[in-house]
Chain A
Amino acid sequence: MTARVATNESILVVGGGISGMTAALEAAECGRQVILAEKTPTLGGRTALLYRYFPKMCHPVCGLEINLRRLKANRNLRILTMAEVVRIEGARGDYTATLRIAPRYVNENCTACGACAEAVASTIPNPYNYGLDRMKAAYLPHAMAYPQRYVLDPSIAGTEEGQQARAACRYGAIDLDMKEETIALKVGAVVWATGWKPYDAAKIQPYGYGRYANVITSVEFERLADPRGPTGGAILRPSDGKPAKNVAFIQCAGSRDENHLRHCSRICCMASLKQTQYLREAYGEDARSTIYYIDIRAIDRFEDFYQKVQHDATVRFVKSKVARIAEDEKTRNPILHGVDTEGYHHYATSHDLVVLAIGMEPEVTGAQVPAEVIEDSSGFIEGAADGGIVAAGVAAAPLDVNRAVQSATAASLRAIAVVHRAAATENA
């Protein structure tokens, strides 16, 4: 079976976020054999961690649900989760990929009933809420997780608690003897869709992230607004749990800055505009959003959304990159210091909460791939010079979900062309 699936006519897609899923599906639906490798226990990537999409304010469940249905219906697709690509050798049309598969300690008998989680008391930081809360050490990543199968954290696998989890499972799904595996796959082309991560906000020293409790990032704010997030969808201050009604959004937090990320991350303007609407949704006319910006980059049809937010009386725009943040010791309110470019007025403005519209950087850098990889000065890659490895989505450039999907479709077509040629040579 593997021999048929993994040949130089197969495509390996690295990364199971929205781009990887799309690239894999497009190729599989064209009749190609595809292997989709995802490092974490679930598909969906960072898209699944959004509360809503801009500009239509719909929930990510929608887009992901369609993809998951396509995925389940397709026989040309093999999905490997908890599988990290450690090495790729060979050349265009003839690669050998080495994958390291971490033990899940839960097999396919799992029905996602949750009995194991109830039997376990230990908790671990919850990466699906960006570490804002903790989750049980036996967990289902999130409601949209695919596969819908629990995971046992390695920290409890060899312990008494691991045994308790196994005893609680009525389906014999927990296998504490699972070991890390290393496998090698033959493929003809690789789609590199490893996505992005938020820039480390603590590196932007003058903004005090990590020092001031009420300075958070936009990805964290996204989780606060989500009913499945750490606060059950209530937008509350981390310092005292009080409602955060007066919120500042700081644009270009890390992006467009030679000291941090030199590129424009492209999504942050729209993300902040969108998040002002979360605040309005939560607090109505009492909401107070202030966007501090250099310039708003809402391109083509997003302009409509920008104009809509501009007309919202609860949203104020200040043309200025905030110079530094101080904290009021008594109220723990962040105080923003800077100069307004429209009039050059100095301000020192207090807010309940500050959201840093954090920039995107490549999730994976310095991947071990053969041949020359063309990459830009920020580490986003185009692919191998010979075209056998193609980047898709945010691995290629900072993109929103919509454009990541377009990029993935394009990457898929290029990968198909590579294996198509490999097939033609083989049969000649």
Chain B
Amino acid sequence: MSAQVPERYRNDFLREVEERVEEGRWVKMCMQCGVCAGSCPFGPHWEHSPQKIFMMIRAGKRAEVLGSDSMWMCTSCYNCIVRCPRKLPITHIMHGLANYAHRLGLAPKGQPTREFARLFWDNCIKQGRANELKLTLGLYFKDGLAAGIKTALAMKGIGLGMFKAKRINPMELFGGHRIKDVKGLHAIIAKAREIEDRRKGYTS
């Protein structure tokens, strides 16, 4: 039966989301009441509210959904989850979609939240500890040297204050502290990724 449906009328995207996106199986429960869209504090400032995203998924708009930057705007305030009359875990679905789009390489390039998330992850995983100095500098210089120096100078006062209060250690720039078994951590992460890839059918 499904084989006879013309390609352009086939909607496999909802099924794809259900199978591969975290909490994606909830998407079909949305009744389009609009409470999440109206409750989102960022609502008026992003293109696709959760309500709209769920409708787009059902309409099979794969490229538009995965390429949207709306999921990356979520601040996890949980207003939508609290108010959703059908108890959809909306915040989690939005993060699930963001993660899925990122893994497929379809997430918007240069989206600031995505860039920060990537920086933070790489920073953490490297030594098993967040290196705040490197993370901060990485963030300052992500848009080039000139922009980085400008931001660093602007933040100089705060940096010095933190140094005096012993909240920041310049020596962290050279190596920095680490957990005992970094190799073990990397093995754990690799295994976790392998399991996730197998379960969700990623080929990477």
Specify the chain A residue showing the minimal Cβ separation from B88. Answer: A258
Contacts of A344 in B (CB 8 A): 37, 49, 51-52
A257 at the interface (CB under 8 A from B): yes
A273 to chain B, nearest CB (A): 19
A284 at the interface (CB under 8 A from B): no
Instruction: Give the size of the chain A interface in residues (CB under 8 angstroms).
Output: 20
A350 at the interface (CB under 8 A from B): no
A346 at the interface (CB under 8 A from B): yes
Beyond the given A259-B82, A323-B34, please list 5 additional residue pairs across the A-B interface where CB-CB is below 8 A: A258-B85, A322-B38, A338-B35, A339-B51, A346-B43
Contact yes or no, A320 B85, CB < 8 A: no
Contacts of B52 in A (CB 8 A): 344
Contact yes or no, B87 A346, CB < 8 A: no
Please report the C-alpha to C-alpha distance between residue A344 and residue B85 in the assembled complex, in whole angstroms. Answer: 18
What 1/0 mask marks residues of chain B from 20 to 64 whose CB sits below 8 Å from any chain A CB?
A: 000000000001111101110001100001011000000000000
Contacts of B33 in A (CB 8 A): 252, 294, 320-321, 341
A interface residues, Cβ below 8 angstroms from B? 206, 252, 256-260, 294, 320-324, 337-341, 344, 346
Specify the chain B residue showing the minimal Cβ separation from A256. Answer: B85
Please report the C-alpha to C-alpha distance between residue A259 and residue B87 in the assembled complex, in whole angstroms. Answer: 8
- Knowing A206-B83, A258-B86, A341-B33, say if A324 contacts B39 (CB, 8 Å): yes
Contact yes or no, B38 A259, CB < 8 A: no
Select which of A321, A340, A341 is within 8 A of B85 by beta carbon: A321
Please report the C-alpha to C-alpha distance between residue A346 and residue B38 in the assembled complex, in whole angstroms. Answer: 7
A251 to chain B, nearest CB (A): 10
Contact yes or no, B87 A258, CB < 8 A: yes
B83 to chain A, nearest CB (A): 7
Contact yes or no, B83 A323, CB < 8 A: yes
Sorting the interface of chain B by its residue count into under 10, 10 to 19, 20 to 34 or 35 or more gives 10 to 19
Contacts of B37 in A (CB 8 A): 323, 338-339, 344, 346
Please report the C-alpha to C-alpha distance between residue A426 and residue B135 in the assembled complex, in whole angstroms. Answer: 88
Select which of B32, B38, B87 is within 8 A of A337 by beta carbon: B38
Select which of A260, A320, A322, A339 is within 8 A of B43 by beta carbon: A339
Contact yes or no, A257 B38, CB < 8 A: no
B92 to chain A, nearest CB (A): 16
Specify the chain A residue showing the minimal Cβ separation from B79. Answer: A323
Contacts of B39 in A (CB 8 A): 206, 323-324
Contact yes or no, A339 B85, CB < 8 A: no
Specify the chain B residue showing the minimal Cβ separation from A259. Answer: B85
Please report the C-alpha to C-alpha distance between residue A294 and residue B86 in the assembled complex, in whole angstroms. Answer: 13
Specify the chain A residue showing the minimal Cβ separation from B39. Answer: A323
| CB neighbors of A among B142-168 (8 A) | none
Contacts of B43 in A (CB 8 A): 339, 346
Interface centre among B39, B51, B52, B85 (most CB of A within 10 A): B85
Specify the chain A residue showing the minimal Cβ separation from B85. Answer: A257
Contact yes or no, B49 A324, CB < 8 A: no
- Knowing A256-B85, A259-B87, A346-B44, say if A341 contacts B32 (CB, 8 Å): yes
Specify the chain A residue showing the minimal Cβ separation from B38. Answer: A323
Contacts of A258 in B (CB 8 A): 84-87
Please report the C-alpha to C-alpha distance between residue A344 and residue B36 in the assembled complex, in whole angstroms. Answer: 12
Contacts of A260 in B (CB 8 A): 85
Contact yes or no, A321 B87, CB < 8 A: no
Contacts of B82 in A (CB 8 A): 259
A-B residue pairs in contact (CB < 8 Å), sample of 26 = A206-B39, A252-B85, A256-B85, A258-B84, A258-B86, A259-B83, A259-B85, A260-B85, A294-B32, A294-B33, A320-B38, A322-B38, A323-B34, A323-B39, A323-B83, A338-B34, A338-B35, A338-B37, A339-B34, A339-B49, A340-B34, A341-B32, A344-B37, A344-B49, A346-B43, A346-B44
Contacts of A322 in B (CB 8 A): 35, 38
Contacts of A339 in B (CB 8 A): 34, 37-38, 43, 49, 51
Please report the C-alpha to C-alpha distance between residue A352 and residue B83 in the assembled complex, in whole angstroms. Answer: 25
Please report the C-alpha to C-alpha distance between residue A338 and residue B49 in the assembled complex, in whole angstroms. Answer: 12
| CB neighbors of A among B109-158 (8 A) | none
Counting from the closest, the 6 A-B pairs by CB-CB distance are A323-B38, A321-B33, A338-B38, A339-B37, A257-B85, A258-B87
A89 to chain B, nearest CB (A): 40
Contacts of B86 in A (CB 8 A): 258
Please report the C-alpha to C-alpha distance between residue A321 and residue B51 in the assembled complex, in whole angstroms. Answer: 12
Contact yes or no, A324 B51, CB < 8 A: no
Specify the chain A residue showing the minimal Cβ separation from B44. Answer: A346
Please report the C-alpha to C-alpha distance between residue A320 and residue B44 in the assembled complex, in whole angstroms. Answer: 16
Contact yes or no, A341 B51, CB < 8 A: yes
B21 to chain A, nearest CB (A): 22
Please report the C-alpha to C-alpha distance between residue A13 and residue B45 in the assembled complex, in whole angstroms. Answer: 58
Contact yes or no, B83 A341, CB < 8 A: no
- Knowing A294-B31, A339-B43, A344-B52, say if A324 contacts B38 (CB, 8 Å): yes
Please report the C-alpha to C-alpha distance between residue A324 and residue B87 in the assembled complex, in whole angstroms. Answer: 17
Please report the C-alpha to C-alpha distance between residue A252 and residue B86 in the assembled complex, in whole angstroms. Answer: 12
Please report the C-alpha to C-alpha distance between residue A112 and residue B83 in the assembled complex, in whole angstroms. Answer: 50
| CB neighbors of A among B64-109 (8 A) | 82-87
Specify the chain A residue showing the minimal Cβ separation from B82. Answer: A259
Contact yes or no, A323 B51, CB < 8 A: no
Specify the chain B residue showing the minimal Cβ separation from A260. Answer: B85
